[in-house]
Structure 1
């Protein structure tokens, strides 16, 4: 099975998370996507909502989308959500499956600051979402890694070669641009504005029923 993994604070989860995940799922013929809220994000400020509230919102979204599942492995952890530890645990849980960890190009260019980042490739492939026409600067230190591990032009070869299935490759995927951020959504909600075009109805219903993100 080919499993995509999208982690995040999801505070709240919105179409800016969901639509790229759907595009990646289609582009790489993934069997399912795990949406994985983190508990203590090491690179971000602490979430506005509790872990339980964010888990509920993600679970609601997954119930509405075919091939999407909630993954609570990081939410149950009382230590910072280091991705390498998470992927090692997920690989142990899915030893025969092929894991694809999804990130944005903005995260990829900061990858060298991540805890034991080189070991990520031991457990999964990386999927790097990028805007149409966007290219990483040739002088950037991550460009060599992207070039060496990129298989954007060799998906058929990858699928046919069992040696490539444990991880270690990078799959750049061009996604539809979206100007959506959780920060902006929270600001709208705090002003009693309804961002109905940015959130799935099930998410907006939960936020309104629980009176979340109010000033």
Structure 2
């Protein structure tokens, strides 16, 4: 199988996470996408609600989307959620499948600051979501890596015929100008962002009185 993996704090999960993941799933003919909330994010401040509440919201969303599943491997970890450790474990769980780790271009250009980032390619392909027409500056240190590993089609080049990892798949996605911070601020002000959240997520937030004033 071809399995996509999208991690994040999902505080809360919103259409800015969901729609690009759906577009990547279709573009790369993925069999399923794992949505993976983290417990202790190494690059962000701690979430505003509990891990259990974030897991519940993500699971609710997955129940309504075909081919999406909750992955709680990082949520169960009591140490920072270093991606390379997670991908190594997932690679062991899915030894015959191709893993596609999904990230935005904003994360990709910071990849060299990630823990043991070079080893990510030992366990998965990297999917880089980018806005239409956006190009990485040729002088950026990640441009050489992007060029060397980039693969624009579903067919692997000859040099990777025997590998289920190590490629970069740039995927152009529809821009989603949505952030969890923006949603939390709106909710704190009593504004209900019905166009930014799936109805089941909004229902849970209101029932549990999360983020509300």
Please classify the TM superposition score into its range, dividing by the shorter chain length: over 0.9
Q: Which residue of 2 aligns with 1:196?
A: 194
Normalised by the length of structure 2, the TM-score is 0.97
| Partner SS state of residue 16, structure 1 | helix
Q: Quote the Cα distance in structure 2 between the aligned partners of 1:180 and 1:158.
A: 35
Q: Quote the Cα distance in structure 2 between the aligned partners of 1:2 and 1:58.
A: 21
Q: CA deviation at 1:162?
A: 4.1
Q: CA deviation at 1:2?
A: 0.2
Note the alpha carbon deviations across 1:97-137, whole angstroms, 9 max, x for none. 00000000000000000000000000000000000000000
- Pair 1:91-2:91 in alignment: yes
Give the number of aligned pairs: 212
Alignment of 1:75-154 (within 5 A): 75-152=75-152, 154=153
Q: Which residue of 2 aligns with 1:58?
A: 58
Report the aligned-residue RMSD. 1.1
Q: Which residue of 2 aligns with 1:168?
A: 166
Moved over 3 A (4+): none
Note the alpha carbon deviations across 1:142-179, whole angstroms, 9 max, x for none. 00000000011x423459x6413x20000000000111
> Where does the alignment leave 5 or more consecutive residues of structure 1 unmatched?
none
| Partner SS state of residue 73, structure 1 | coil
| Partner SS state of residue 99, structure 1 | strand
> Where does the alignment leave 5 or more consecutive residues of structure 2 unmatched?
none
Note the alpha carbon deviations across 1:162-204, whole angstroms, 9 max, x for none. 413x200000000001110000000110111110000000000
| Partner SS state of residue 175, structure 2 | coil
Q: Quote the Cα distance in structure 1 between the aligned partners of 2:28 and 2:79.
A: 32
Q: Which residue of 2 aligns with 1:10?
A: 10
Q: Quote the Cα distance in structure 2 between the aligned partners of 1:75 and 1:194.
A: 28
Q: Quote the Cα distance in structure 1 between the aligned partners of 2:139 and 2:20.
A: 27
